[in-house]
Amino acid sequence: MNDAWHVIAICALGYLVGGIPVGWLMVRWQRFGLDVRRYGSGNIGTSNVYRHAGFDVAVVVGPVQFVQGLAPVLIARFLGFAEGVQVLVAVSAVVGNGWPVYLRFNGGRGVAVATGAVGPLSYAGFIGLLMCYAWGAIRGRIALAVLVAYVILPVVAFFFNGVTVALGCVAILGLLMLRRLEGLPDDTRTYGHFWRLAWDRLVFDERPGRPLMGPRTDPGVNAVHK
């Protein structure tokens, strides 16, 4: 079951399942064709969906995205794949959410999918993530809490689950940071101040022209296809 073709197939499943743009689909279905990518952060994840489509849509999107990360890893485990392959499936699901073939390889931040994918791999790491999220929610610093959570995660995974899972968590951290930095060269050409923009993107997940609420005003909004 762990030969190359089976591994490729289960990783492809992780990518395709993780990449289903649930937030985008739900908003278009429930809000008369509204494209959530044109508003706020431009993200198709739970937070932006909540702000621009409402709680009733977001309360479905969040858990479903969590399952998009959880299910492929559990399927790989059920089918008898080794731990290393399960880690690859988890990483593939996060890649799928961030760079989905369904939306021309420009998707979400991957946090909910990553949280679901980490769950079966490291119970201690999963609990650590939830604790950081709770701290962020209380302090109103969700983006910072997510960063802290995934920086700490590989260390926790190393001590409780070993090198393989820890390396997978490092890969997931790298993918989440790449999503935060998406479009940074374009923003720098438009607004200047590369290092300040990079800091705001990595730590606070903030981009110029993308307000917390309301339509986007950055030049990149014109690249969003209906």
| Eight-class DSSP state of 141 | -
Looking up tokens 């998009």 gives 68
206 burial via Cβ count (<10 Å: 0-12, 13-18, 19+): middle
Rounded to two decimals, the pTM is 0.92
Q: What is the pLDDT of residues 110-158, one digit of tens each?
A: 999 999 999 999 999 999 999 999 999 998 889 999 999 999 999 999 9
Chain-wide mean pLDDT for the chain? 91
167 burial via Cβ count (<10 Å: 0-12, 13-18, 19+): middle
Mean pLDDT by 10 residues, the chain (226 residues): 88 97 90 83 86 87 96 97 97 97 91 97 97 93 94 97 98 96 87 90 86 79 66
Question: In the Cβ-directed half-sphere of 164, how many Cα atoms lie within 13 Å?
Answer: 10
Answer for the pair 87, 40: CB distance below 8 angstroms, yes or no. Answer: no
In this prediction, residue 54 carries a pLDDT of 85
Q: What is the pLDDT of residues 24-34, one digit of tens each?
A: 999 988 886 88
Q: Give how far the C-alpha of residue 134 lies from the chain's centroid of Cα atoms, to the nearest Å.
A: 18
Beta-bridge mates of residue 215: 39
Q: What b/e readout covers 12-41, taking b as 16+ CB neighbours within 10 angstroms?
A: ebbbbbbbbbbbbebbbeeeeebebbebbb
